[in-house]
Amino acid sequence: MSQTSCSLFGCGVDDDDRSWSMDDYAGGLARWCPGCGDHAILAAVERLLEAEQLPPERTVFVSGIGCASRFPHYLKTYGFHGIHGRALPIATGVKLRRPDLHVFVVMGDGDCTSIGAGHWIHAVRYNVSMVALMLDNGIYGLTKNQTSPTTPQHYASNTQPKGSFLMPLNPLSATLGVSNASFVAQTADWIPAHLYATIQAAYRHRGFSFVRILQRCPQYTSDMFEEAVRNPKMIEMLVHPDGVETPELDKIYTQKRVHDPRDLDTGRHLAEPADKIRLGIFFRDESRERYEELRAQRVHTAQEKIARLNEEFDKYAV
């Protein structure tokens, strides 16, 4: 993401020599359950902010409602903890008029793929530059154990105690199916190196970066990813020089597949359900048009506007 100078009357500090440590980004004490995958994701994000030295005042985290959406409270940046499913429209409004800000969106699976599904599809199409993290634990946790669109079929919950009736929605396929998609990746909370490398790639991508993070919920779906956590052979890493490379994990995660993120067709194929969980970048294309750039306008002074408005009035003069 390029550093743009602030578009709002020169507020903020440009080209300063300040530097930030991890502590500078730490907000309130995270109150997720012990063992919740969200802790690891928060740690990875704090690490990214520090590594990229993002000025806290120029960084905005927008979230919806759910366990995952508590995220902004635990950071010391600007944050907007909004309403269920609707983080993306708010984030779009922020970035559209303030392209100088670094915008991150944190959503859960209910937020993104259920109540906010319409916004998700269109946000992908707008391709406004931001990092959208979808923390997918396959369940509604905050409201205590209800089936979500990504809950595996036959998995029991309080609303569907005999097991989920339907096949789960595949967020990767859905995102890859939307025109103008520009970055689609998957990672997992229990593989910190891959998690960090993926969100870093997402941050560095120019456009709408969609990252599905498989996330464990110790309370309600502790067994959902258990097998994959215990058995690295369940994981297939998509690797490529233009994708995510984590050589430090090679000894553990031996299942690898070379996938060029420019190859959309193969990316779509790889996103389909398989006997392995695939992590990495399924698709990336920086040449896709970015809505905030298509709609960028130069700032007009009040006097300019008045002069132009008076011309407009002339057309309607009696």
Partner 1 sequence: MSSSASVATKKRKASTPTGPVVTTVPEHTVEIVSDSGEGAQKCGQIFGAVSARMGNGAWTVELIPAEIQPPARSPAGASGNRIRIGTKPVTNWGDAANLVVAFNEQVLAARHRLDALHEDAIILVENMWATHDDEDIRREWVEVMEELSTTSYRIVEVPMEEQCLTITDNPRRGKNMFVLGLLSWIYERDVETVRDLIRLQFRKKAAVVAETNIALLDLGYQWAQEHLDFRINVPIEKPSTPMIVMNGNQTLAMGAIAAGMELCAMYPITPATSVSHYLGEIFEEFGGIVHQAEDEIAAAGVAIGSSYAGKVAFTVTSGPGLALKTEFIGLAVMVEVPLVVLDVQRGGPSTGLPTKVEQSDLLAALYAQPGDAPKVVLAPATIEECFHMVVTARRIAEAIRGVVIVLTDANLATGVQPFPRPNLDARWQAAPIDLSPVTEGVKPYDWDPELGLSRRFIPGQPGGMHTLTGLSHDELSKVAYDPESHERGCAMRSRKLAVLQQSLKPPEVYGDPEGDLLVVGWGSTKGAIEEAVDKARAEGLRVSTVQLRFLSPLEPGLKEIFARFRKVGTVEINYSDRLGDPYITVENRRMGQLAFLLRAHTLVDVDCWTRVPGQPLRPKGILEGIKTMLPGRPS
Kindly state the smallest distance separating residue 219's Cβ from partner 1, in Å: 20
**Minimum Å distance from CB 37 to partner 1?**
21
Please identify, using beta-carbon distances, which residue of 95 and 259 lies nearer to partner 1: 95
Decide if residue 177 touches partner 1 (CB under 8 A): no
C-alpha 288/C-alpha 264 separation (Å) is 13
Distance separating the N- and C-terminal Cα atoms of the chain: 51
Beta strand extents in 53-124 (DSSP E only): 59-63, 78-81, 102-108
* Beta carbons within 8 Å of 82's beta carbon, 6+ residues apart: 62, 63, 64, 65, 69, 90
Distance (Å, whole) CA 214 – CA 146: 17
Contact at 8 Å (CB) between 138 and 189? no
Among positions 103-122, residues that touch partner 1 (CB under 8 A) are 118-119, 121-122
Residue 317 found at the interface with partner 1 (CB under 8 A): yes
Interface with partner 1 includes 60 (CB under 8 A)?
A: yes
The phi and psi torsions of 291 (rounded to 5 degrees) equal: -60, -40
Task: Choose, by CB under 8 A, the member of 39, 47, 81, 256 that binds partner 1.
Answer: 81
- For 185, phi then psi, to 5°, come to -140, 160
- CB-wise, 18 or 251, nearer to partner 1? 18
Of 44-52, 94-102, 170-178, 257-265, the segment contacting partner 1 by CB under 8 A is 94-102
Among 1, 40, 75, 176, binds partner 1 (CB under 8 A): 75
> How many angstroms separate the CA atoms of 63 and 58, rounded?
17
Position among 20, 43, 50, 97 found at the interface with partner 1 (CB under 8 A): 97
Comparison of 128 and 237: residue with beta carbon closer to partner 1: 128
Going through 22-156 in order, the beta strands assigned E by DSSP cover 59-63, 78-81, 102-108, 130-136, 139-140, 146-147
- Count of residues of this chain found to bind partner 1 when the rule CB under 8 A is applied: 64
* Per CB under 8 A, 57 contacts partner 1: yes
User: What's the CA gap between 278 and 120, in Å, rounded?
Assistant: 22
92 binding partner 1? (CB under 8 A): yes
Query: What is the bridge-based pairing of β-strands 146-147 and 130-136?
Result: unpaired
Is 290 a binder of partner 1 (CB under 8 A)? no
Using the rule CB under 8 A, is 262 a contact of partner 1?
no
Closest by CA position to 84, among listed 58, 107, 104:
107
**For partner 1, which residue of 35, 93, 163, 177 counts as binding (CB under 8 A)?**
93
Return residues touching partner 1 (CB under 8 A): 6, 8-9, 11-13, 27-28, 55-62, 65, 72-73, 75-83, 86, 88-98, 100-101, 118-119, 121-122, 295, 297-300, 302-303, 305-306, 308-310, 312-313, 315-318
